[in-house]
Chain A
Amino acid sequence: MTNWLMPLVGGLIIGCAATFFLLFNGRIAGISNIIGGLWSPSVGDVSWRWFFLSGLWAGGLTLLFFKPDAFGQSDFSLVKLGAAGLLVGLGTRIGNGCTSGHGVCGLSRRSFRSLVATLVFMMTAMITVYLGKQ
């Protein structure tokens, strides 16, 4: 019963964060684009990205203090994780978004591009997990 409750509550909190970011800052809370934008700095467009990232880390430290079991270990080798990180960075930059930008914000905006992107990365990830077991 409670299996879906925490994911739902967490999802609603994420939705609140994305809504507030749009309402106050006028921007899409897409993590990969917020961080990726640090590679192409333009005047007046940098500091808020660092503040958002600092907020993520402050949230991480809060979790570490009050709910340390929120974090899990990865079962994969460092080489595989390095390759995966490279692909995630490259893919989200070229595809212009990740689970938050396309998945949460894009779908909330009823963007057709984001819907297709979300279906593609979900399906690809599911196929990857399936093939990884073979």
Chain B
Amino acid sequence: MNQFSAFVCGWVFAIGLGVSGMTKPSKVIGFLDVTGHWDPSLMFVMGGAVLLGLISFPLVLRRKMPILGEKFILPEKAGLDAKLLGGAALFGLGWGMSGYCPGPALVSIVTGNLAVIVFVMAMIAGLGIGQWLLTRK
């Protein structure tokens, strides 16, 4: 059941990304281009999602456990560190160079467009390198 639920959530998530305009890299670049012909409309994507989440997340987390699991699995780290800041900066650099963040890129794979495929393959390699850096001792 939790696999079916994950599938449905992924499906709904992708529809949201497509409806919002996040799967158009040129529109994303237009949003990031604050000194040019700035298109602020994509602010409403994170705005809408967070507006809902700010209300719904605390309601959900009042429960002792999720419907299909034994416990909520949430990040436990608090406070800032170099990994968080450095990682976010590298991500921002890649996002600004391409107009793709992970979700929209993965969804756009279905177009078969070579540019997206190259981006996603490189992203998966980057995730692997990051994993290796974090776990090597």
Taking Cβ atoms with an 8 Å cutoff, the residues of A that contact B are 3-4, 6-29, 31-32, 35-36, 39-40, 47-49, 51-64, 67, 70-76, 78, 80-96, 98-100, 102-113, 116-118, 120-130, 132-133
Contact = CB atoms under 8 A, between A and B. Distances in A.
Given A7-B45, A13-B20, A18-B9, 13 more contacts: A31-B102, A49-B6, A67-B19, A83-B94, A93-B131, A95-B83, A95-B84, A96-B75, A107-B53, A108-B49, A121-B91, A122-B92, A129-B96
A98 B99 CA distance: 13
Contact of B122 (A19, A84, A106): A84
Secondary structure type dominating chain B contacts: helix
Interface in B36-59: 36, 39, 41-54, 56-57
21 contacts: A11-B48, A14-B17, A14-B20, A16-B12, A20-B12, A22-B60, A24-B67, A31-B13, A35-B124, A52-B7, A57-B110, A70-B24, A85-B121, A85-B123, A88-B100, A93-B134, A94-B130, A98-B102, A104-B46, A116-B80, A124-B93
